[in-house]
Amino acid sequence: MIHTLSAGSKLLSAALVAGAGWLFTPAAVLAQQPAAALVTGLPDFTDLIDKVGPAVVNIRTTEKVKPGQGGPDEEMQEFLRRFFGVPGMPRRGAPGPEEVQRGIGSGFIISNDGLVLTNAHVVEGADEVLVTLTDRREFKAKVLGADKRSDVAVLKVDATRLPSLVVGDSGKIRVGEWVIAIGSPFNLENSVTAGIISAKARDTGDYLPLIQSDVAVNPGNSGGPLINMRGEVIGINSQIATLSGGYNGISFAVPIDEAMRVADQLRKSGKVTRGRMGVQIAEVSKEVAESLGLGKARGVEVSLVEQGGPADKAGIKVGDIIMRYNGQQIERSADLPRLVGASQIGSRAVVTVWRKGQQQDIAVNIAELEEDRPGKPAPTTPRAEAAPNALGLAVSDLAEAQRKTLRLEGGVKVDASTGAAAAAGLRAGDLILQVNNVDVKDARQFNAMVARLDPKKSVALLVRRENTTRYEVIKPRQ
């Protein structure tokens, strides 16, 4: 609980200082504070808004709804129309499609000949997009392209000499700097809110590190600009963190540097191409890093290698820890997809992996990113061991057909998990491929390795579950 410092409490403070035998008084203590404060006043946004406001637009979308597609409340709408004369309700069975308003969002002009940036979700599924300026001019906009992964869309209106925003550098933003958002929350056009940048690179998406701020953003703000005190757009307001559906103090924006890279591709070809290696990855925990000799948690763990994909052809294996991509350090799992996605299709990338205690460089030919394809479940034909080992695992050999199907040279299947193994999350059906960087050949060898483990040290198991593989760290039973 925070209390204000009243006059009575100042006297109490002075008495406590004197009682301690010190020579300081409250005035002397205050005199020791820094002479100049870091913050001298609140910013005035008025001139800034006059400058950038005219380039922010309201976006309305409509779609054509055929008769009979009015949704689950169509009967209620027909009841209201017939008995209460409610206007605007589509007449049931009326011929031809009916145009209805679909959504409201925001956007901003980036060139005086009519290029507009907004979110992809603002224009998704729209049959018509209407852009309204602050001077009440309205234009029909053409969607040049939209990219769901980055949530960026580029529109074009047939006009010239339009006001436009200056594109800033989102790589130079600083946590704590003032920013403003302009948009149409709840269709309240050109509403302005202000706040500060809370974080520069929040990993809420696969391909974009979003800007976090405490600027108030609500439904209808989507697609509007996040602007710094120099009048430059540094992001596109895109998401909020909320339990209620409304603003709860946290909002996210697509960095303008990333948005412009996407926009350039959308303008040229109407789509965005991204590179892929054909792997699934997971974070490397502190426990896994220590068990594998990495020291600190860094890099990403390869949990699945797509059969016949670029990584598979290059020799990257499940259990590898990818440390660097073309010389750039991989610190978090979100780093690798962004670097690979930004790579040119057909280019050759050097991937540095940690494998069995050593680093090695592997050259990978980058292919074009495709839609995710569901994997096939692994067949199971186990033969159970008699009793759990020191880790609490009862395992069996893999059938030859199962190894061929999964393209495995060895490994064992977990038939029962108790004790320390169960506490670590291992369960029946898991496949164990390595113990502390040593390949598992069969159940006999696996149990022999477990028997030699130091009961006071953690052990890292490379575990495959369905279509993913990752390290699990457990301790033998004491």
| Per-block mean pLDDT, blocks of 10 residues, the chain (478 long) | 34 33 42 53 90 96 68 47 43 54 87 96 92 95 93 95 95 94 91 95 73 92 95 93 74 94 92 90 86 86 89 92 94 85 92 92 91 42 54 83 79 84 84 88 85 83 84 73
In a 3-state reduction of DSSP, which class is residue 353?
A: strand
Among candidates 206, 219, 227, 217, which has minimal Cα distance to 252?
A: 217
The CA distances from residue 24 to 8, 10, 13, 30, 36, in Å, are 18, 13, 11, 10, 22
Domains and CATH numbers, the chain: 50-157 (2.40.10.10), 166-269 (2.40.10.10), 275-368 (2.30.42.10), 393-474 (2.30.42.10)
d(CA 412, CA 384): 10
151 marked as part of a ligand binding site? yes
d(CA 446, CA 393): 10
Q: Which two tokens stand for residue 424?
A: 């670590």
Among candidates 458, 452, 463, which has minimal Cα distance to 473?
A: 458
The DSSP H or E segment spanning 123 is helix 120-123
3 marked as part of a ligand binding site? no
E strands, 308-437, are: 321-325, 328-329, 348-355, 358-365, 367-368, 393-397, 412-417, 431-435
Residue with tokens 């600190």: 296
Sign of CA dihedral 30, 32, 36, 38: negative
The DSSP H or E segment spanning 18 is helix 7-19
Q: DSSP labels for 3-14?
A: ----HHHHHHHH
Question: 463, 295 in Cβ contact below 8 A?
Answer: no
The CA distances from residue 416 to 382, 392, 403, 429, in Å, are 11, 8, 20, 8
Residue with tokens 């200082």: 17
**Which residues lie closer than 8 Å to 18 by C-beta, 6 or more apart?**
none
341 marked as part of a ligand binding site? no
d(CA 176, CA 421): 45
Among candidates 390, 355, 406, which has minimal Cα distance to 474?
A: 390
Q: What is the pLDDT of residue 84?
A: 41
Which residues form the catalytic set? 121, 151, 222
Question: 173, 158 in Cβ contact below 8 A?
Answer: no
Among candidates 445, 417, 309, 291, which has minimal Cα distance to 373?
A: 309
220 marked as part of a ligand binding site? yes
96 marked as part of a ligand binding site? no
Q: What is the pLDDT of residue 36?
A: 52
HEC sequence for 66-111: CCCCCCCCHHHHHHHHHHHCCCCCCCCCCCCCEEEEEEEEEEEECC
